[in-house]
Amino acid sequence: MNAQSTAASDWVNYALDQQTVLDPSTGQVGNVSSAYTYTWVNSAGQTSYQSNDSSANPNGVMTGTWTQTQQVHGNGTPK
């Protein structure tokens, strides 16, 4: 059943052009656009920064402290 749930949630993300990410500092899971490879979240956990540039880092450029998220399956389980 877990495999079916994982596959179904991943399919929903694909159909909606989104991906599920995990904030490793808080454990919070959320959905963001799949148009970008890298997603960062600020210390308030409310704003995200996305980029396809692996060297992009909003720390020191944008206000606040930013943490890079981890991509997870649509149901929040690790990939």
Please indicate, yes or no, if residue 46 is contained in any of the structural domains: yes
Report field, pTM of the whole predicted structure over 0.95: no
What sign has the CA pseudo-torsion 12, 23, 78, 1?
negative
Residue 1: the pLDDT is: 64
Q: Longest C-alpha distance within the chain, in Å? A: 44
48 in any annotated domain: yes
Q: Is residue 26 assigned to a domain?
A: yes
CB 25 within 8 A of CB 70: no
Low-confidence stretches of the chain (pLDDT < 70) are: 1-3
Residue 79 forms part of a structural domain: no
Decide if 22 is inside a domain.
yes
What's the domain count of the chain? Answer: 1
| pLDDT score at 58 | 96
Domain boundaries, position 6: 2-72
Does residue 64 sit within a domain? yes
Residue 78 in domain: no
Is residue 57 one of the residues assigned to a domain?
yes
- Of the candidates 1, 18, 24, 7, which has an alpha carbon nearest to the alpha carbon of residue 75? 7
Give the model's pLDDT for residue 67.
Answer: 96
Token digits of residue 26: 């808080």
